Amino acid sequence: MSFIHLKTEIPGPESKVILERRKNAMPAGLAKSTEVVIADAEGGVVHDVDGNTLLDFAGGIGMMNVGHRNERVVNAMKEQLEKYLHICTLVATPGPYVELAELLNSLAPGNFPKKTILANSGSEAVENAVNIARYYTKRSAVICFEGGYHGRTLLTLSLTSKYALFKKGFGPFVSDIFRLPAPNVYRRPKQMSEEEYVDYCCAQFDQQMISQVDPSAVAAIVIEPVQGEAGFIPIPKKFLEKLRTVCDANGIVLIFDEIQAGASRTGKFFSCEHSGVVPDLICMAKSIGAGMPISAVTGRAEIIDAPHLGGVGGTYGGNPLACVAAIEAVKILSSKEFLQRTNQVGELIRTTLENWKAKYKFIGDVRGVGAMRLVEFVKDRETKEPDPDLTLEIIRDAVSHGMLLIRAGLFSNCIRLLPPMVMTDEQLQEGLQVLEDAIARAHEKRK
């Protein structure tokens, strides 16, 4: 059975009209990965305005782990719609905020009292976490890492890497931010084993605590346990343990950005659970809202309680409609059955990608954790020179044959796969076949 049905080219005539309207009404700098104009969606299937049916392997850049229009989420929102839409937590207390905070507190790792503050976006979550850490420590310096993506507000854009795509033209940025190299095992020096390379990165971190900033000045270290925008790069356990040790020894707040890698994408609710390293604060967003704009910072109660009365908050943070969606989504995401399905999806994709790597010489690496998977394209496997043009060519080909896809990687030479875990095996296999066909066509051109 085929799930992809194409009645027109992508984009079709109706889509072209709306895309022209978009061009005239919206900023030129607001990029789009595909020319698809959506009409409706359910599960992992998307229908466009021309009647085409496509499979979604982008998932709103990791927002749709429970699938489009999850029935439990939609029903909870309908029920809340009959009660009230907004009250503002600074004015009165909405019950759903309290319930969601309790739920996230119970799920976050660490044997210590926890509290949660809610906001609207991943950027706001990271901004809240850093601000709270600075208040708690009475220090200003923040350490972040190459390849990291943390958002587009002034503070989080200052933390974000990949200068040309995200930061060019928007300076000056926030001061007292120190960006250090992050371990990337795939691009390690040829003469080093993985273990030697990670040991070297840990030793370099110690040196940077002398050459760049003294630990006594550092309020927080912010890192993604699996870097998203950088190209689904898992940070080695030993390096995360190193950060934890340095933070414990120097009173630094360790912040894990779980915005893309969290919400059960890697087979555990938090990606840091694979390492066993417990942060002080965890930032969440994307799939915890199942499509609704909501984010959270969960962590040590003593740290989150540090700011003075009125020092944190916002008009829409903890909006009840978003909260009830998140409550249902988090219950689904954290269930044993869902986590089991995540690992099944991840294994299906992993074995398929490993097969591709053996067949196509310009696939430099395939990697990821759980159902967070990626293909990296290079011009030469020995030099590992990135090939972003080939990557874009393959995406455009696959989209024209019925897939939603998006790039990733510091060099924009990777295709990330973030399908909703509610996709059936048949849907996953069909989508992966479409992508492989596009890769094969590109391979034939370059023989």
SS3 47: strand
Is beta strand 406-408 parallel, antiparallel or unpaired with respect to 414-417? antiparallel
48 within domain boundaries:
yes
Element holding 205 (H helix, E strand): helix 194-211
Distance between CA atoms of 406 and 60, rounded to whole angstroms?
Answer: 9
325-378 pLDDT, tens digit per residue, is 999 999 999 999 999 999 999 999 999 999 999 999 999 999 999 999 999 999
Question: What does the pLDDT look like over 284-305, one tens digit per residue?
Answer: 999 999 999 999 999 999 999 9
Query: CA 41, CA 58: separation in Å to the nearest integer?
Result: 13
Based on the domain organization, do 55 and 99 belong to the same domain? no
Helix axes 425-445, 336-359, angle to 10 degrees: 20
For residue 72, how many C-alpha atoms fall within 13 Å in the half-sphere facing its CB? 12
Please tell me whether residues 141 and 190 are part of one structural domain. yes
Q: Residue holding tokens 């029920």?
A: 79
Do 342 and 327 lie in one domain? The reply is: no
Which CATH number covers residue 111? 3.40.640.10
The pLDDT mean for the chain works out to 97
Q: Could you read off the pLDDT of 93-125 as tens digits, one per residue?
A: 999 999 999 999 999 999 999 999 999 999 999
User: Is 260 part of a structural domain of the chain?
Assistant: yes
With respect to residue 116, please indicate whether it lies within any of the assigned structural domains.
yes
Residues 125 and 202 in one domain: yes
Co-location of 175 and 298 in the same domain: yes
Give the model's pLDDT for residue 446. 83
Do 124 and 238 lie in one domain? The reply is yes
- Output the domain CATH number for residue 441: 3.90.1150.10
The answer on 324 and 349 residing in a single domain is no
Domain of 408 in residue numbering reads as 13-62+336-445
What integer is the mean pLDDT of 7-27? 98
| 0.95 surpassed by pTM | yes
Could you give the number of structural domains in the chain? Answer: 2
How far apart, in Å, are the Cα atoms of 439 and each of 5, 18, 345, 386? 20, 30, 21, 16
pLDDT score for 333: 98
Residue where a domain terminates, one of 333, 368, 391: 333
Are 37 and 138 in a shared domain?
no
Q: Both ends of the chain: CA-CA distance in Å?
A: 33
Do 138 and 117 share a structural domain? Answer: yes
Q: Indicate whether 1 belongs to any domain.
A: no
Domain boundary among 333, 359, 387: 333
| Average pLDDT of the segment spanning 47-62 | 97
User: Is 375 part of any domain?
Assistant: yes
